[in-house]
Structure 1
Amino acid sequence: MNKEGVGGEGSVESLPAEEVRRGLKISTIEGASATIHGNLTGGSIFTQFLLTRGADDFYFAIMGGITTASNLAVLIGAFLSRKVLTKKGIVLVFSLITRVIICLTVALPFIVPSGYVLYSVLIAITVATILGSIAGNLWMGWMSDLVPRRIRGRYFAVRNRASMVAAITFSLIAGWFIDQFQAKTERGILSSALSVFGKPPFVSANLPYAFLLLYSVALIPAIVCAFLLARQPEPMRYYYFPNESSSFKESVKEAFSNIKFRRFLFFVCYFSFINSFASPYWMPFYIRNIEMPLQTIAILSALGTIAGVITIRTWGKLCDKFGNKPVIQLTLMVTTVHPLLYLVSTPNFWFPIYIDFISSGIMWNGFGLAVFNILLLVSEGKQKETYFALHSVVTTAVSAVGCFISGFLIKIIPPVYIGNYVLSNVQIIFLLTSVLRFTSLPMVNEIDEPNVKPPLYLLKNLFSAIRPQTASTEKSS
């Protein structure tokens, strides 16, 4: 086995090609298994569980802030990645503990006094998030060593596609299952058939047991992930860090002395801060305010994901042709409208939510790609990883603060009555988010990017840019 230098920070063992191929196959299956676990226990399923335990908007805001802040534990992972020779053991143990803790949260109502259930869940999820963040950071380093650079794009496209199929399939199954317990009446032939054994199972009184069963099933993919991680090969890395502390301080100083990076960081921090005002409330709004079934949410999420996958290449072309700044401005203008759709949505009128899911799947993909491209552009010097870490840490911190502030705002904002129309405090937060997103548009102009076109130029030439070119057009150009 060979050793290859990596960034002047050490060397990494080069595995035989057969071992690499085996590792990539294992990782693809592991990614799908992890996605299955996440879709059985997270998202709308977990939100529904919290709502059944009496969680209110303030609770969701505080949970959003604490769990977001817990992601700062990624710094611990970054520190460990420079100190340990092997990441496999930590990733395996921490990720398994994380998933087991998540599965056990639905058992807390059977163990903890009812008045302490939500507090216990908050503590459990915080611990799980911290351990998961550490494991995630180390896992990224592991995969960076395992996946050959020349095929990373293609490999992760395949891995993500497998995970997407798993996400769509199991989110629909989980949503359908929990939905069966939402009504207080019997549900269909299956419930009638099972009622011969006693009380019909698909009634709301049995919802706690439904969560317990679903999360117990989720333990299976959690164990499968641990088994696969144990079998996935890991190249051994050897480190040498002369004057490491001094080098890190210098790289941080270098990053903050970079005016291009500071301007970019100011924009993403402001946007992350204002966007976090509404982030804790989207899912509770679907379930509680407009009474949308979980399987409908799963279908809309799948459609949004598919729309994003279909259009991501188009966004790449637009970024290359017109620049990243106009793409950010275009997507911001559209996503500024999204929160306004929630002002007119009711239990009998879901159409605006349909628009939001599809449009969000398209627009946020373009926004994220353009922001990532600019981050790469403004990151200069030898220690680019420092720029990435600072971007992640600072945006995470301000997002957590935004969630906390939003939680206190939701407590003091009263509903607004306009004739027979009532604007709830959550909808006022959505309205505020829309206005604040609009205020971030001028900040994009301060970002340094050479040779970009104005956003109006992009709009005028949008359809001609994404239209497939004919052979004659390509020849003449």
Structure 2
Amino acid sequence: MPSLSPQSHVSDDERERGLRLLIVEAAFSGGATALTTGVILTAFALHLGASNTMIGVLASAPFLAQLLQLPAILLVERLRQRKRIAVLTSIVGRSMLAIMALTAFSTGMLPLLILLAAQFTLCGFGAVGSCAWNTWLRDLAPENRLGQVMAKRTIWLTAINLALGVAAAIALDVTDAQSLARDLVFAGMFLIGCIAGLISARMVSAMPEPAMPERGDRVSLVALLTPPLRDRNFKRLLIFVASWQFAVNLATPFFTVFIVRQLGFDASFVMALSVVSQVANILVLRYWGELSDRFANKSVLAICAPIYIFSIVAMVGASQIGDRGMVKLWLILLHLAMGASVAGVTLAVTNIALKLSPRGSATAYVAVSATVTAIAAGTAPILGGLLADFFAQRRLELLVRWSSPQSSFSVPILLTSWDFYFLLAGPIGMYAIHRLSLVQEQGEIEPREMMTEMLNNTRRSIRNISSVAGLRAATFVPVSLLRDGRIALRARRAAKREVKPEDGSV
């Protein structure tokens, strides 16, 4: 293995080779993640007979592990060997995937406990390693090429996620539940993920690490994190982030459980829904970025957040529809909406946290935001899992009846189990959106104005459709119109700010 020590000087050739490895390495790290997290991990836990509480604890692991990034900051500052930390934590953490693969052939509580312990170990070492990795990457990539390099890396990550997502869906579809073949499929996924993760660590070890600057005055974590907590506007953002993450993660980790256990679909269909959501996310992410630059991040959040919350609540509809074909169509439409809207939410929350951070203090502000996210998102699925049995033993029946002289009909509504979770996420999410309205961001506008400009341009585009190219253009966000609308809005605001005579006349 190459040296894990930092270099006082990194040549241009070494830097270029490191950047090439950085892009290619994404295929292996992304592969390890795609085959062992999210829907696959939940489906695997269900395959082993996990309870709802166990599912909730598993879902909380990636979030709660992020709390280790705070002491990891001190570890990086003390050792000042980021490559050594990143590589060793990656090897130890991803070796847990091999242990998780072995649990596929066991039954009972023991393999579930081993799976849980391995997941927390993996996430914990990953959090420490990512703290070192992020600062190392920032020093390795030149300022003027960081965006280009990360874009190429993202393409690799996206491609491998989609490809392996489709492959996993097919593999699960051709095997029977609770069969030896299904055991082998899950074991194979985690074993391949382990191998891909170790290859990733080997490639990372070959990348050069520029030595960190000389250590200045040591700053405690308390001193580092105090200023963000005293910033009134930033605290408003933190309340929004906490309530939003709690609402979302109270329900979404149990989508797989709901679709498999309550609706009776196979895990392969859940994987297909995950792919649908990822495709929607990819298609609109760039356009949400353009809108956030032109209309401010808060304006984008004011549109995306309600759509996402509505989609969670609308999952209740899947249990009310009798035709299974219509249920599938309904779930596909909801996952398209969730994939598109969560892209805007994730982008805007990250951007607004950076935007509200004073220059030179962004690290502390983002660290506080990440900590609040970890606590809220980590506790929500645990609480959800613990309350699952409570809701499972309760049901709410409503009968909506319409009568007229000519005819009458009735619509029965039955809410059970996970339906209550999705409804509960609604008011919590609406409270989060209310808290967002109190956050002040320079340049924000009314969401209605942004939507009006988008719809107006869409109408113009539809009128001009005369070819396939015209049809394609109608589906894109109107960049030029958005710019013109923004300029006009600024002009109107400038006119309003003009000083008026004391008698109020113009």
> Normalising TM by the smaller chain, what interval?
0.7 to 0.9
Give the conservation status (yes or no) of the 8 Å contact 1:81–1:141: no
Look up the SS of the partner of 1:232 in the other structure: coil
Q: Indicate which of 416, 426, 429 corresponds to 2:396.
A: 416
By how many angstroms is 1:359 displaced? 1.4
Verify: 1:341 aligned to 2:314, yes or no: yes
Give the conservation status (yes or no) of the 8 Å contact 2:243–2:431: no
By how many angstroms is 1:310 displaced? 2.5
By how many angstroms is 1:131 displaced? 0.8
By how many angstroms is 1:433 displaced? 0.6
Q: Indicate which of 74, 77, 84 corresponds to 1:82.
A: 77
Residue type matched to 1:283 in 2?
Answer: T
Verify: 1:163 aligned to 2:157, yes or no: yes
Q: 1: CA distance between counterparts of 2:133 and 2:338? A: 28
User: Which residue does the alignment assign to 1:94?
Assistant: 89
Q: 2: CA distance between counterparts of 1:294 and 1:340? A: 22
In 2 relative to 1, CA 329–84 (structure 1 residues): closer, same or farther, beyond 3 Å? Answer: same
Q: Where do residues 136-215 of structure 1 align in structure 2 (5 Å cutoff)?
A: 136-182=130-176, 204-215=179-190
Give the conservation status (yes or no) of the 8 Å contact 2:101–2:191: no
User: Which residue does the alignment assign to 1:196?
Assistant: none
Q: Indicate which of 55, 63, 88 corresponds to 2:50.
A: 55
User: Which residue does the alignment assign to 1:244?
Assistant: 219
What per-residue deviation string (whole Å, max 9, x for no partner) do you get for residues 127-169 of structure 1?
1111111111111111111111111111111101011111111
Verify: 1:21 aligned to 2:16, yes or no: yes
What per-residue deviation string (whole Å, max 9, x for no partner) do you get for residues 165-197 of structure 1?
1111112112212322226xxxxxxxxxxxxxx
User: Which residue does the alignment assign to 2:281?
Assistant: 308
TM-score using structure 2 length: 0.81
By how many angstroms is 1:265 displaced? 1.2
Q: 2: CA distance between counterparts of 1:115 and 1:270? A: 33
Q: Where do residues 62-461 of structure 1 align in structure 2 (5 Å cutoff)?
A: 62-108=57-103, 110=105, 114-182=108-176, 204-245=179-220, 248-346=221-319, 347-348=324-325, 349-413=327-391, 414-418=394-398, 421-461=413-453
Residue type matched to 1:84 in 2?
Answer: L
Look up the SS of the partner of 1:417 in the other structure: strand
In 2 relative to 1, CA 150–280 (structure 1 residues): closer, same or farther, beyond 3 Å? Answer: same
Give the conservation status (yes or no) of the 8 Å contact 1:379–1:387: yes
What per-residue deviation string (whole Å, max 9, x for no partner) do you get for residues 353-397 of structure 1?
111221122111111222222112211153221111111012211
Which ranges in structure 2 are unaligned for 5 or more consecutive residues?
Answer: 1-5, 400-411, 458-476, 489-506
Give the conservation status (yes or no) of the 8 Å contact 1:41–1:103: no
Give the conservation status (yes or no) of the 8 Å contact 1:176–1:295: yes
What per-residue deviation string (whole Å, max 9, x for no partner) do you get for residues 247-298 of structure 1?
x544423222211211111111121122221132022223333344444434
Equivalenced residue count is 442
User: Which residue does the alignment assign to 1:3?
Assistant: none
By how many angstroms is 1:440 displaced? 2.1
In 2 relative to 1, CA 121–253 (structure 1 residues): closer, same or farther, beyond 3 Å? Answer: same
TM-score using structure 1 length: 0.85
What per-residue deviation string (whole Å, max 9, x for no partner) do you get for residues 28-69 of structure 1?
111111111222222222222211211122221132234422
The percentage of counterpart residues that share the same residue type is 20
User: Which residue does the alignment assign to 2:491?
Assistant: none
Q: 1: CA distance between counterparts of 2:228 and 2:283? A: 35
Look up the SS of the partner of 1:30 in the other structure: helix
Give the conservation status (yes or no) of the 8 Å contact 1:98–1:131: yes
Give the conservation status (yes or no) of the 8 Å contact 1:45–1:175: no
Q: 2: CA distance between counterparts of 1:392 and 1:402? A: 15
Q: 2: CA distance between counterparts of 1:158 and 1:233? A: 19
Look up the SS of the partner of 2:414 in the other structure: strand
RMSD: 2.5
Q: 2: CA distance between counterparts of 1:223 and 1:115? A: 29
Q: 2: CA distance between counterparts of 1:325 and 1:37? A: 34
